[in-house]
């Protein structure tokens, strides 16, 4: 079964890839419409939490991913998918989940935006670097002959340009940006959700065949991602609000970007694509669960304080 997963390929056409690219660009544009100069001032006044968030996202998570891969030793294509997901920036739904959990929303928005900006360089670099530390994935990358400059161009086009345009529009036309973001955010998430559903239906047989393996691998990897942010926040004694934010920001990855790169440069390589696709579903479930638990705990604590 493992060999079959390694050699499998997901069905995915160019129209679907274009839709995915468009939805990611709209999502990033919507995030950028929320960015203000005050967000930069916030980072200057609170550099510790921001720096730890970036460290958790781009160093601690890939490191723990490498450790996990050495422990479970998945097929090379699966391991490559795990490295790619770990190299991607945080997903924008983390902002909503942080708000729900009563975390630090300003920190969350800043981390999402800046991790996305940094990812233009760090996603290709991190992916190549950490995948080279595991021999099976290093060998697979040599066979594929991946151009990291082309990956850089793709990430810049999908994420970097919408980010800069969105920030410019928000600075010049703040009233329009405020109205537009209310429409663009839910619309882009619906488009992305529709894409995931269509891709799932088109590859239903493959998902059913390998779901028992994929579920456990993604469950473990997502736990490692959540643990990465939580443990780093605890080690450096961040406030509870910031701890919630780092946990969610690191646990919610931009798996949509991973899928774009997989279908553009890896021809829908089965293990990679299925890992990234299931991540796109599972991290929403796990993130919403954690956010709801934290929200309920906070409400319970406030009620206890009122009763006292």
- For 124-168, the pLDDT digits (tens) are 899 999 999 999 999 888 877 667 777 787 787 777 788 788 888
**Dist. CA 221–CA 194, nearest whole Å:** 25
- C-alpha 85/C-alpha 279 separation (Å) is 8
Q: Dihedral sign, CA of 189, 193, 198, 199? A: positive
The pair of structure tokens assigned to 70 is 């050495």
Sign for the pseudo-dihedral over CA of 126, 128, 134, 140: positive
Spell out the domain ranges in the chain: 2-307
pLDDT of residue 38: 66
Q: In whole angstroms, give the CA distance from residue 106 to residue 24.
A: 21
Higher pLDDT, 89 or 23: 89
213-260 confidence digits (pLDDT tens): 788 899 999 999 999 999 999 999 999 999 999 999 999 988 878 888
**What is d(CA 228, CA 147) in angstroms, rounded to the nearest whole number?**
29
In this structure, the number of other CB atoms found within 10 A of the CB of residue 197 comes to: 11
Q: What is the pLDDT of residues 42-87, one digit of tens each?
A: 677 778 999 999 999 999 999 999 999 999 998 888 899 999 999 9
Q: Are 80 and 271 in contact (CB under 8 A)?
A: yes
Please list, residue by residue across 138-156, b when 16 or more beta carbons sit within 10 angstroms of its beta carbon and e when fewer do.
eebbeeeebeeeebbebbb
8 three-class SS = coil
From CA 39, how far away is CA 110, in angstroms rounded? 6
Q: Burial letters for 266-299: b for 16+ Cβ neighbours within 10 Å, e otherwise?
A: bebbbbbbbbbbbbbbbbbebbbebbeebbeebe
pLDDT for res 83: 95
Residue 16 gets the label, from left (phi > 0), alpha (psi -120 to 50) or beta, of alpha
Domain 2-307 class, CATH top level? mainly alpha
Q: Does residue 267 come out as left (phi exceeding 0), alpha (psi in the -120 to 50 range) or beta?
A: left
Q: List beta partners, residue 253.
A: 90
pLDDT of residue 158: 77
Please, are residues 37 and 242 in contact by the beta-carbon 8 Å criterion? no
Confidence at residue 179, expressed as pLDDT on a 0 to 100 scale: 83
Which is more confident, 267 or 161?
A: 161
Among 54-63, 152-161, 176-185, 299-308, the least confident range:
299-308
CA distance 96 to 235: 25
Percentage of residues of the chain with pLDDT beyond 70: 83
Q: What is the pLDDT of residue 4?
A: 58
With beta carbons less than 8 A apart as the criterion, state whether 245 and 235 touch: no
Residue written as token pair 């690219």: 21
The least confident of 112-121, 170-179, 195-204 is 195-204
Alpha helices (H) in the chain, listed in sequence order: 2-7, 14-32, 37-45, 47-55, 61-72, 76-87, 93-100, 105-131, 135-144, 148-155, 161-172, 174-202, 204-235, 240-251, 255-265, 270-307
Residue 211 has pLDDT above 70, yes or no: yes
Q: How far apart are CA 27 and CA 185, in angstroms?
A: 6
pLDDT at 130: 95
Structure confidence at residue 255 (pLDDT): 81
The pLDDT of residue 116 is: 80
The least confident of 219-223, 285-289, 295-299 is 295-299
Whether the CB-CB separation of 259 and 195 falls below 8 Å is answered with no
Who has greater pLDDT, 196 or 93?
93
> What are the structure tokens assigned to 92, written together?
């924008």
- Structure-model confidence comparison of residues 223 and 187, the more confident one: 223
Query: What pLDDT digit, counting tens, does each position of 223-233 carry?
Result: 999 999 999 99
Residue 305 has pLDDT above 70, yes or no: no
Answer yes or no: are the C-beta atoms of 203 and 11 closer than 8 Å: yes
């Amino acid at each position: 079964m493992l060999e079959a997963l390694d050699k499998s390929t997901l069905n995915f056409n160019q129209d679907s890839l274009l839709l995915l690219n468009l939805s990611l660009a709209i999502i990033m544009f919507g995030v950028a419409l929320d960015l203000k100069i005050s967000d930069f001032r916030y980072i200057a006044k609170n550099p510790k939490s921001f720096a730890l968030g970036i460290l958790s996202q781009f160093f601690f998570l890939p490191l723990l991913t490498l450790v996990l891969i050495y422990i479970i030793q998945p097929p090379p294509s699966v391991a490559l998918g795990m490295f790619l997901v770990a190299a991607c920036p945080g997903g924008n739904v983390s902002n909503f989940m942080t708000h729900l959990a009563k975390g630090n929303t300003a920190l969350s928005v800043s981390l999402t935006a800046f991790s996305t900006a940094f990812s233009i360089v760090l996603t290709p670099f991190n992916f190549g670097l950490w995948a080279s530390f595991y021999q099976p994935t290093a060998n697979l990358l040599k066979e594929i002959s991946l151009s990291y400059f082309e990956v850089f161009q793709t990430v810049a086009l999908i994420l970097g340009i919408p980010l800069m345009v969105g920030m410019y529009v928000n600075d010049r036309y703040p009233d329009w940006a405020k109205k537009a973001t209310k429409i663009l955010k839910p619309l882009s998430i619906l488009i992305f959700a529709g894409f995931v559903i269509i891709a799932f239906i088109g590859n239903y047989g493959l998902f059913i065949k390998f779901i028992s393996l994929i579920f456990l691998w993604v469950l473990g990897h997502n736990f490692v991602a959540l643990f990465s942010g939580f443990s780093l926040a605890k080690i450096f004694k961040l406030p509870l609000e910031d701890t919630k934010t780092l946990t969610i920001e690191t646990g919610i990855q931009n798996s949509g970007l991973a899928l774009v790169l997989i279908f553009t440069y890896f021809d829908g390589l089965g293990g990679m694509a299925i890992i990234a696709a299931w991540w796109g579903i599972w991290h929403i479930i796990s993130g919403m669960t954690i956010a709801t638990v934290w929200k309920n705990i906070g409400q319970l604590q406030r009620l206890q304080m009122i009763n006292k």
